Structure 1
């Protein structure tokens, strides 16, 4: 710094001449300013500050005016002395004639907060810290100065942009960690940031700017120094920064945040939006800190201090990754405002459903749950209790994945229209999606649901084959439109069904456990595939040919059934030889869920003529797709336009693109294989312990556990399955049953479900089976 050329003797002479003060000077640590402690012969102490390079007088005057403004608020902050000419800011020259701003402040006694013992709890001090900062912001509410309106890298209002600009300085897991928090902030706070109350803030209540009354038994903040980062920003940012430093090296950061917030609330009441935003802003401060530090290290790689000072912040980020920020916000709003997040009671909601909705709209569990939020592999009820979700294969990359939410928000705020206009999103997404398929499958249609995708697939097949005769697998389900219900034995042979329509032809379900042919080898596959000959012969006898054969690549509602090897190869050959088209329904199990492949049909070594996609494609957003060959697509060109109002809109395409990026970035396909293999191996071990487990089957994170009361007769354990599902609910794990006898536990969680969740499930299953007397 240029101030290094200043001699202590020259500074002492200046202070004596302009302030009539004499004493011994001792240099103090400082980041930009040259700070000196002056002790007079009478025992009085002062701080002499010489500003460093680039400090504009307007910002120095801002600090002085703010500190003196707060004199009447009962807060211990430095006061700036006036010199003999009444000025609070003077100039001192070095030996070369360069001028530097100089100020003299009164000295605040106390010990640095940073010197407190690590890891110890100081609830009284934390609460006083919050009250101190709340009173400070309250005192500054009527303070105005032209220097407040400035850009600072440390202003959290610009935190997202600052971090994005400096992310390149981070690498590997650390970059991913920061990106995750930035996405949460972007989706949960950024959209309403401008609505939060704003005003002048200190903006830097760090542990070296805060003074405490005692290091052994601290109870009060005795002072606050360094107003150099003052700005006009969201007031809650003040609290977020204070909390961020207070939680460092603390084992229970939520307890710290609650105490500091309670204190702040006592002096400057917070609104609900501020309290909900606070946990995200605390983490944003951490991110700004590590990004600024990493950027500075790149410029000065030998600066070990930067590495050391960043270490506790990285530890805090790792700590907060394990916390649910939204739940912390709910806790704070409940404690500070008494806000009830539960909304209407469950009884009131059920009564309204019964009055205004069809009774066909079913609910899960004897005592239905009210679910208000989701995150990753978990759902949360109105009381904030977490439930491990093991049945939702729609939120494929995890509930409310921040990258997917951000993509939706950004595009929704820009444009959402139909496909009659050119737009990059449609083309980019179509190209990327088709890149996951064999070259033969080269044409994409975007629609809104799996049912609509299958409906369109039937139309395409009919145009290509010139026949409406449809071959379906017994027990299958393909959607809720008329054509899809007609194609679903699960529906037309079930309660309220009217049996198969004349153009629907059922073929045997290739069930290696409960069917007539056992095992997963090629021989079993050929035996089940032989049933196709029966249907094709019957059609030939009627002078008809098959229009299409549709099959889920892994059977879903029929019982999470993995087909034996070679089954689809043989079936496809026979159907195509007879003039039909082959449709693979990947609505439930596509996008890497099977682990060993992106698409279930790949596990059978076939290439369909048409593939239908849905559910996981948009992570809960209503979108779906049909992928087909050029030949089939050309046959659909009959002169009748195909148009879909919402299919392929820019928002849906942005969401779909984000889902694909997350699958790749988080390597979720490989993760599904590892976790699924682990889970199946442990379940099969458990089957030796509990006779109720008749069969364990599946691919990746699409698993079925069939429960039977007699392993030889394979008697369905329907009642026991229902009891187990209720037991899982009491342990906050969500499961449901599948299969014609509802005796199969279906496991198809979000793809972020990992080994810790698998172990929790296994422990609960074991306790549940023991409770059934197993």
Structure 2
């Protein structure tokens, strides 16, 4: 151990081998024993004795790299040669153990770490970036066998290092780090190896950087300690530099931008490097806290580790509130002048009109070009954010890193079909069925809500031996032929041909605009009584119902919550007549209603068949049919059911990840809290604005019906259209619903929270005032 070395022995060695004499002063060091030597002539040098286990090849790497850079004019230490022409010698302690020893030139200056905390130094940051750019450019032609090594601090291995040491973190801190690791894994890791690589210093921290003046710093006067040198992606150098410089700064993004600009002026950065930079900075922060936590477990009394980790945790909390992709896009735009988004909107629109059907509609008078999503937000080609309040498909948030990572990992291993045994299919099926009543114990996996409903019709027909189908007026169940036939919204709408002979409409249980008002049991019974009309007609024709299908909360019919007792009464009547009851949960399943995982639970019923879609895969095309063993067995007719893509390993991995996120982030409870808050505020607003005729919904499935007259309930269709454009102008995406398009449809990603709710409410208020309300 270097602790056994005496200063007198070191002084004697240096005098004998370097012809240098003077006073030695010990300096702080991490592994090496560092001493400053001041000669009587006033010259200063650094004597470094390597710690235990330092291989000579890595010390030689440092020596040659420093001398290589010094020749290029960079202020880094130079290695002296001893009287025998060596840059590396050996010194023995009192026990005879030998240690490598070197003598370096001394660099004047003050440690960057001693600068006043929290103060901005834009000139210095620019110069720091330029310095590190020159350094990497200067190392571009340097080669040494010691460069090719594994280091815990090499960001190329940062993800693996953090995962190995995550166990040292607990609770919210562990979740915070895991979130950043998932972002890095999905956004950078797949293409990191394609980024430019070369020798890097790899440790431009605030104790390795020297500045010219603490009172008025304007220049980086030197860089020391090349002990972490390695061959890695060059942008990792910039990421590490930015990481330490931005600690304890109020605006870390400004620091990153200034340093990157300086670096880019010396070594040009690519678009991919700039996009990766924010993620790599956060990865370096994660590596730092994981290594610290691991070290604290081994040395729990080390107060220094706790103190040094504090600003790193603060930085992670700061970046948790930021969109890393937007930071990258802005860097690209500023440094490279490249606007995001590819082809112009005009070009895309012309191509759509030429090559796609005119039935493919676009939202808004001036269409949006959306290029990216994150959480509850979408971003256009200019990087502008839009609060998404209508996309219930990306259930746990756009591009949720855990879901993306699950897809990437499984896609890289295998994607096949259900003719082979695979853990993902069984594991996902077991987990999904665990959310349902025991009666619903069989799962079929398909690709879309439409396909799920069509399969449900087939199964119901086998179980009931009847194809007669009862549907709710105004409902929509999908875009296949069978689903269009089951959707009054389509067959009674433009281009429709009316109900087919086997399809029978029943009254829409609308407590606001329907024949019976209110949400109580009595109202539910009144609407349910309409079923008798259809059942009696079928009985007169010597027929029986095959199935009754109903969305558990009505969607396109107008975001309608049905009165209590409605489904219980209907199910009882349909089953008594021999029919099967289907709950369409394609829009509102997976906790959106807040008080329950499934909408049918709010009506205290258990269907015979449940269809799932949209949110099940967070945007990935998958869906499911859940049914009883009795119905599933009736479907076994000798005709095989096979679905090429349904239940493939990738889809199952995605579905599993979605369920895990719902649990981990407690999104069902979150939907209830946020939805209750919004409805309370909307009802307060209705007391102020006559245009608001009704507010209804469950959880984050809410409808706001606008009327020009509350007595007649005349739909305010034109006003609603104007409001939608007003929201768009304020970068909030909403849509309309209902037969008169006068209902604001609110069904955002489930991560939509109170800040987003307040933004919506403020914008609605300003819009209503703009309408003269």
| TM-score normalised by length of structure 2 | 0.99
Other-structure match for 2:584: 585
The answer to whether 1:415 aligns with 2:388 is no
Other-structure match for 1:765: 764
The answer to whether 1:642 aligns with 2:650 is no
1:746 is displaced (CA, Å) by 0.7
Cα distance in 2 for partners of 1:711, 1:341 equals 46
Other-structure match for 1:243: 242
Cα distance in 1 for partners of 2:419, 2:273 equals 42
Over residues 587-637 of structure 1, what are the superposed CA-to-partner deviations in whole Å (9 max), with x where a residue is unaligned? 000000000100000010000000000000000000000000111011111
1:443 is displaced (CA, Å) by 0.6
The answer to whether 1:218 aligns with 2:208 is no
Give the secondary structure class of the aligned counterpart of 1:262: helix
Cα distance in 2 for partners of 1:140, 1:348 equals 44
1:557 is displaced (CA, Å) by 0.4
Other-structure match for 1:66: 65
Matches within 5 A, 1:689-768: 689-768=688-767
Other-structure match for 2:520: 521
Cα distance in 2 for partners of 1:272, 1:327 equals 13
Q: Which moved more, 1:132-141 or 1:615-624?
A: 132-141
Give the secondary structure class of the aligned counterpart of 1:431: helix
Over residues 552-581 of structure 1, what are the superposed CA-to-partner deviations in whole Å (9 max), with x where a residue is unaligned? 000000111001111000000000000000
Over residues 380-437 of structure 1, what are the superposed CA-to-partner deviations in whole Å (9 max), with x where a residue is unaligned? 0000000000000000000000000000011111111111111111111111111110
Cα distance in 2 for partners of 1:73, 1:241 equals 23
Over residues 4-29 of structure 1, what are the superposed CA-to-partner deviations in whole Å (9 max), with x where a residue is unaligned? 11111111111111111111111111
Cα distance in 2 for partners of 1:340, 1:534 equals 61
Matches within 5 A, 1:291-302: 291-302=290-301
Cα distance in 2 for partners of 1:122, 1:496 equals 66
Give the secondary structure class of the aligned counterpart of 2:687: helix
Q: CA RMSD in A?
A: 0.8
Over residues 192-241 of structure 1, what are the superposed CA-to-partner deviations in whole Å (9 max), with x where a residue is unaligned? 11111111110000011000111122111100000000011111100110
Q: Which moved more, 1:551-560 or 1:333-342?
A: 333-342
1:308 is displaced (CA, Å) by 0.5
Cα distance in 1 for partners of 2:218, 2:326 equals 28
Q: Give unmatched runs, 5+ long, in structure 1.
A: none
Over residues 339-396 of structure 1, what are the superposed CA-to-partner deviations in whole Å (9 max), with x where a residue is unaligned? 2323111111111111111111111011111100000000000000000000000000
Give the secondary structure class of the aligned counterpart of 1:426: helix
Over residues 144-168 of structure 1, what are the superposed CA-to-partner deviations in whole Å (9 max), with x where a residue is unaligned? 1111111100000000000000001
The answer to whether 1:353 aligns with 2:341 is no
Other-structure match for 2:489: 490
1:271 is displaced (CA, Å) by 1.4
Other-structure match for 1:480: 479
Cα distance in 1 for partners of 2:599, 2:699 equals 10
Cα distance in 2 for partners of 1:583, 1:715 equals 33
Cα distance in 1 for partners of 2:564, 2:415 equals 44
Other-structure match for 1:28: 27
Over residues 690-728 of structure 1, what are the superposed CA-to-partner deviations in whole Å (9 max), with x where a residue is unaligned? 111111110000000111111111111111111111100
Other-structure match for 2:546: 547
Task: Answer yes or no: is the 8 Å Cα contact 2:339–2:382 preserved in 1.
Answer: no
Cα distance in 2 for partners of 1:250, 1:433 equals 46
Cα distance in 1 for partners of 2:103, 2:208 equals 17
Other-structure match for 1:609: 608
Cα distance in 2 for partners of 1:508, 1:73 equals 84
Over residues 632-665 of structure 1, what are the superposed CA-to-partner deviations in whole Å (9 max), with x where a residue is unaligned? 0111111111111110111100000000010001
Other-structure match for 2:445: 446
Other-structure match for 1:466: 465
Give the secondary structure class of the aligned counterpart of 1:626: strand
Cα distance in 2 for partners of 1:280, 1:544 equals 64
Give the secondary structure class of the aligned counterpart of 1:557: coil
Give the secondary structure class of the aligned counterpart of 1:183: helix
1:336 is displaced (CA, Å) by 2.2
The answer to whether 1:262 aligns with 2:273 is no
Matches within 5 A, 1:50-65: 50-65=49-64
Cα distance in 2 for partners of 1:354, 1:552 equals 34
Cα distance in 2 for partners of 1:451, 1:621 equals 14
